[in-house]
Amino acid sequence: MYYREIKSAVPVAEEDVQQLQETVKSILARVKNEGDGAVRYYEKEFDDYDPPFFRIREKQAAAAMEQLPAEVVEELDFAIEQVTAFAQAQKDSMVEFERDIRPGMRMGQRIIPVASCGCYVPAGRYPCLTSAVMSVIPAKVAGVKRIIACSPPGKTGSINPGILYTMHKMEVDEIYCIGGAQAIGALAYGTETMAPVDLIVGPGNQFVMEAKRQVFGTVGIDFLAGPSECLVIADETARADYIAADLLAQCEHDPNARGALVTTSESLARQSLEEIERQLKERTTEAVARASWENKGVVAVVGDIADAARYANEYAPEHLEIHTSKPREVLPLLKHYGSLFIGENTAEVYADKIAGPNHILPTGAAARYTGGLWVGMFAKVVTHMEVDDAASLKLARYAETQGAYEGMDAHRYAAAIRLANLKS
């Protein structure tokens, strides 16, 4: 083994996973069959929430700003500007084309936005005020015509005013105060008062992620985003207090969040463990953060930075920080991560809140095959072709031969009939 863990995570029991799957399956089936009635049942059961209607009216959304301090409004407006600018830069990198691949064979691609999407905005323990911004803005920039947002009721008995303000500011088409697996079911299958969508995006707890997994195929999804993760790569020059602060910033999200450190210095590893314990006692969110760290936290020691990068690539974390003396030199070694933070002063929490790059990122090692939410996830790249007679004659010969060899006689004939006509 090229690494040694001085703190390990507690393994997840298989029966816990199976119970989660069965619970979510039951919720989704009931929402699919009973619609609004099932949504109401689960909202009352889980959130003690039983309003006259779940859709937020325009007047209520517009009034959210009045409940917020001026500085919060200013910061949320700044976040919208930042995320919009970054999303627009992403869109500008996407190109349509049409060209002659060979004489007489004209081929191309178009970029077409999906018709509708549902943005899930979590707000369980803490309202992450910019989560709506991160999902809605890329959809807007992509050109999605119908955008729905769902978020669970908070302490006010409705959607958190900060989240609701951003939804109204961004002109979300439909806003619903619904949370959990029941919200995912409503978005996927539709109800009497909500038409289904084509794509569901956004982070959430284990119930939301399992629901997204189970409805995939009926609708598209971005990826499974949650619970939160952060891995720090560090050498002997790193600051233990920075490492502890950044890991606990992830741990306070959820008891199932995962924080990890891989370092070339055992001394730093031990200092970081001590610093985490010290900082935990100072945090108002200690209960959640401690549960996460004690059950899911990992500290590993490796021989060199190359091994640290290997560890990171195998872990494929949602967030990856580099706290080394020469962080740019580590960059070429890193292949699998949701978002990367280069240098100890590039705090992951900046991207969580306002910086611009999207904070909805793959978890559970999904970064091995996908990046984070971006404009391109709200669009379909579709191809087309057009051939002239000479090119059709050439292609028909190949297609007829191949169809005959494969035993697909209708394929062979579809080519042969054109071949005969073009030769005549």
CA distance 134 to 139: 9
CA atoms within 13 A on the CB side of 350: 14
Report DSSP letters for 20-64, one per residue: HHHHHHHHHHHHHHHTHHHHHHHHHHHH----S-SBPPHHHHHGG
* Dist CA 51 CA 31 (whole Å): 17
Question: Can you tell me which residue has the tokens 């010290």?
Answer: 278
For residues 422 and 104, the answer to whether their CB atoms sit within 8 Å is no
**CA neighbor of 85 nearest in space, from 124, 132, 141:** 141
Catalytic site residues?
A: 318-319
Name 407's Cβ contacts closer than 8 Å, sequence gap at least 6: none
C-beta separation of 142 from 375 below 8 A = yes
At residue 100, the 3 state secondary structure works out as strand
**In terms of DSSP bridges, do strands 105-113 and 379-387 run parallel, antiparallel, or are they unpaired?**
antiparallel
Amino acid at 265: S
**Contact yes or no for 261/234 (Cβ under 8 A):** yes
- Cβ(317)–Cβ(337) under 8 Å? yes
Tokens of 324: 């080394």
Reading the block at residue 75, the tokens are: 């910061």
Q: Residue ranges of the alpha helices (H) in 66-179?
A: 70-92, 131-142, 161-169
In angstroms, the CA 324 to CA 304 distance is 12
Q: What are phi and psi of 205, to 5 degrees?
A: -80, -175
- How far is the C-alpha of 188 from the C-alpha of 28, rounded, in Å? 9
Would you say 112 and 380 are in contact if contact means Cβ atoms under 8 Å apart? yes
269 three-state secondary structure: helix
